[in-house]
Structure 1
């Protein structure tokens, strides 16, 4: 590095809408990433470099992806003809007419060992350069204003010419419109003659209608004599809108419900008696089929997804049907293990029945499984995690 550099940081930089959008995207890091990039660009000549030159400056907090997004997507950087990154002006910088490369040119900080000219000469040289730039900018503005004035004057002249031509055309068309109006106006004699003509036409229509009715009556009479059979055209009745039908029978959807699938595992987990449900899955599907027939829901199971949703409600989410299904499966489990020891899920302590250290009444039925507790108020076994 040649020395320590610094560049100006506008106080109102955060008011730029692009800066606000970047902060909403990256939160607090957006503002820091922008000035971090500007700081690293000052190491290069004319504050310009390529995107690949910034990759070595990526850190743990200012990652390469974050730097690329700010340069390419934030709208705060542009690209010149050589493909270098150029910082665009912020909203607070629009008032100044200086070039961005000049405004952000790095300046060497003064040091003690550096031999420099007197301070007054340096200040005067800076002021003269600023004055020359301001004069060039003002000259450009005056030239642009003169060009705009000439364009406006030319447009006004064209508009005046068009308005004069339109006025001449309207003056020429004046007599023609008067003649047309006189031609279109009806004469009083014609207006008086119109009622008589209308009356004549009405009389002719009446006579024709009378003759037509007489001939029609005669023709109908001849048809009756000849026993002509008239076939009536059938009237088209609107067909009711057809209700949606299932692609396959709903029983096939129920038969394809699988407990080994991810969906089946979720059903067992939500039911609260997953091991018991998975063990007697076929029986649960048969009970579900009977439930569908009993509730008259055959027409509602049109797809496999609808069958899955209904079975989820039947076996897990609906407390009424899920509780009844659990009780039926427990009865099947008890019947299957009737030959075994009915008290195998209990413990004996000094000859008394206990469950997890709690005493069980002597007249209580055997504990159905390893996840049931005795309800002394209702005097029955209930699921431990219900």
Structure 2
């Protein structure tokens, strides 16, 4: 957020150990990038683990990354001909509410699981169970539709790579649909387990330009086991009942105003200067000054005025002859760079500012040090009055223009 202004209780109980739920943090960051001002997206900050660490090229080809969690599934009995095991992932989109930890503002993201894998562990070497001249051949013979990399059942699809050992086979499948992808054994397997869970996910995040700076947190809990969200088949019991994804979105906006040297000293003059008045006595139509500034903004902000001298009309700001007390009103307006709009979605051109209201301006993309203009003007009526009542002394006053990113 930025504002710019020119008792302890102890209880001991005996309990029976229960299965522990798992938590996995997923973190993403938004920071405006001056080299890519139109890229308004969060960047994943969650380190890869599991499949995509072992096979980074495969994941890069499909813009996929994975997380490995210590979820274990164990068969409740033998797995034999006529039984089946497999993979079902929660591939449908699910909404998650994330809340700003300071302001309690809420936003919505969506997530789905697009890939799932594990490492199956046999009770005996594959060659002992299914024969074959090599462990790889034995793993293929063990199942009616070849191995867990060459015989991926629909609707799951092949991911590219796998690893195997005498009793183990690590696989990873893409899961485009929320359906069971079943494998049927061709031989009797006395015992089977899956020792980890690798999953890849896709996340739809809210537009960061519409979010205030800060940390947004929210959680989504999946169930594990037969008939649950993560399901490895009717015989595969999950040692952990659930997996909770803890989402953390960090929004770090920019709001910066640069005014050139001397730009805080505004001299109001007629167009072309005072020569026409001095030479011919022709009164100027108005007094004004346009002051440029450079603005960097990645989130909505408000603008308002604070005045040393107030008139109670128009913008409410004035310049004053400090001896006589005579005063005249000064109107202040702003023109903002392209990419910034008002609350109605219109370009900001000579938008009037005041001390009573705080209009909200919204960027459509990251505006990086783009020029804007503050317009200071004394209308004809006030110009006439000030000139008629001038005593050879200056009219002066301070006007503070405030940019504020703390928008409700």
TM-score normalized with structure 2 length: 0.18
Question: Which protein has the larger Cα radius of gyration, Structure 1 or Structure 2?
Answer: 1
Higher helix fraction (1 or 2): 1
